[in-house]
Structure 1
Amino acid sequence: MRIITKKIVSRWIQHNIELGTLLILAISVAGFWAFAELADAVVRGSTADLDRDLLLLLRSDGNIDRPTGPPWLEEVFRDLTAAGGIAVMTLTTLAVAIFFILQRKLASTIFLLGRVDEFDQA
């Protein structure tokens, strides 16, 4: 009797639950759990040393007010942090243009790039 029940349940699962759906659900739950654990660690303050070390790694040895790298890199990261600068606008426009090209919407691509160029001249 027990074997028959297991076979029935197994057959029902195989026919009614998609593996892809289970994988997406499992990955989503694992990602949420990992984020919750990280957030908990940050709130407790156990990541403070790692945060400090990572921030100091990106600074010059003699002067912590000066970040490492060329001057343009500092500007790019400041723009990315502000989420409204030229770097973000350019990356977003290129991503949308590539999407339009992949969708074979050439007119939309030309319109998008034309409007962005018009904004740049204003």
Structure 2
Amino acid sequence: MLVSCPVVGFGVLAEDVLEGDTTKFDLAIMSALRATDPASPIGPPWLQEAARDVTSVGSVVFLSFVLLAGVVYLLLIHKRALAIWMAVAVVGGELLGTILKLSFNRPRPEIPHVTRVFTASFPSGHAMLSAIAFLTVGALLSHANQELRLKAYFMSIAVFLTVAVGISRVYLAVHYPTDVLAGWCIGSGWAILCWTVALWFQERPKRGPET
């Protein structure tokens, strides 16, 4: 059930984008963020610089370091199976994102970008990979700890980073809002699926024979 909700959300968004139903919504938000100059987002220069820094958190390079740190941590606390599954989940999600981008091939917003981009627009790769990496890492690290405060801490940081990266992509005009929403949907769905499968495998050895 948890997996189906974001997947259905992605499907609805994808259909609406292909039919052009989201154009007015997308352009209204993009225009609001560039009230005076289409080439410059609203806000002081430091806000643009901060947005660039935040958006880099969703890059493949940074997320690779996050993945490495998470895997090493799980290995250090003797959670080898979870470490392997974390790596498989994040790398598999990156491949899924590439396939989806090539399939939809939506052009980027026709607004001067504050940062350079080279790939298609839908879904947002940064939003999707951030959701996959941060939520998967956050969930698996939470599962590896018994203390409730640590569980809440890991998941709060994961959600915050995921949302911040997505918002920065729209602010920098490299993605439409629906690109980011779709990225969040499919990314969170993938993370939930991977988390569910990991928990299922973890619980299997504990089940005794039925009588």
TM-score, normalised on structure 2? 0.28
In terms of fraction of residues, the more helix-rich structure is 1
Q: Which has the larger radius of gyration?
A: 1
Q: TM-score, normalised by structure 1?
A: 0.44
